Amino acid sequence: MRFIRERHPDWVVVNLDKLTYAGNRRNLLDLEEAEAGCALPRYVFVHGDIGDAGLVESLLAEQRIEAVVNFAAESHVDRSIHDPAPFITTNVQGTQTLLECARKAKIARFVHVSTDEVYGSIDPPQRFSESSPLAPNSPYSASKAAADLLVRAYCKTYGLPAIVTRCSNNYGPYQFPEKLIPLACTLARQDKPVPVYGDGKNVRDWIFVDDHCLGVELALLKGAPGAVYNFGGDAELENVEVVRRLLRLLGKPESLIRFVADRPGHDRRYAMDFAKAADALGFAPTVGFEEGLARTVAWYEANAEWLEQVQSGAYRRFMKEWYGGRG
């Protein structure tokens, strides 16, 4: 949101958010306050569900929406293993509701934000291309793959000008501390053990959040209807190496690393080939991992109050359920 507001201050952006456990309206409260009292606010927050067809239809009409970008998703693999139902509700049914409302409203552009996890796992030195088969291995990735196929179907069947983007692991400021980097940062700052699944050698490609935003912006402005675009950070690292680098930045010992039982269906390696996005959209990551990680750690250290606020009921329940008593 901040990325788009800075690059396109003349755009009107309507943020529809259900504010589930990881949602935090305070993250963008300054944007709301800056627009308070404006006859034509450029940022509008709406508390609601993408699965509420009546609400979505009214917003598209009343706000004269020209483009829809679907970031909404239940996104944590561990939670999907514990209870897949909310992932089907939001990621599949919610996406279908958005698509149908967009079709009826004749929306000019629909961008669906997906994930590299829909491809499953891949052995080195290969990388996922947009033509790689979908082979999801968790309820989360299966729900995202289903949504991707619905977007394709609406484009092919109804002519909806829709685009799918698939991105590697995001990191950066404001990320809810259930994901690896903010979780490890939060625990290490308190000198608590940092859990790492299995042997820690699962490989992920990391992309700084601003670079992902850049990719989505390029897809929105330049993408071809019906196309799929991969975005990556060109930063493949084993999970344990990510944690080691973070501990070094924090001045903490590697003895804090605690290897725990691996999770079911844990993909071994993700790697993105984003040549198509580079050629067609001009996409290229701009923030290297070392720089991005340093900026991320500095942000969390400078925003201890934010961390305390989000470490409330939902976060504590998450920690107790997934990490309490392990290792």
In the predicted model, residues of the chain with pLDDT beneath 50 are 322-323, 325-327
In one-letter notation, the amino acid at residue 4 is: I
Phi, psi of 93 (to 5 degrees): -65, -40
Residues labelled as active-site residues: 116-117, 140
Residues 278 and 212: beta-carbon distance below 8 Å: no
**What CA–CA distances, in Å, run from 207 to 32, 41, 161?**
28, 31, 27
Tell me the pLDDT tens digit for each residue of 251-310.
Answer: 999 999 999 999 999 999 999 999 999 999 999 999 999 999 999 999 999 998 888 788
Residues 227 and 165: beta-carbon distance below 8 Å: no
How far apart, in whole angstroms, are the C-alpha atoms of residue 305 and residue 316?
Answer: 16
* Percent of the chain at pLDDT exceeding 90: 88
Q: Residue 306: its pLDDT value, please?
A: 87
pTM of the model: 0.94
12 by DSSP, 3-state: which? coil
How far apart, in whole angstroms, are the C-alpha atoms of residue 162 and residue 167?
Answer: 17
How far apart, in whole angstroms, are the C-alpha atoms of residue 165 and residue 145?
Answer: 12
Burial class (CB in 10 A: 0-12, 13-18, 19+), 181: buried
In the DSSP assignment, the letter for residue 133 is P
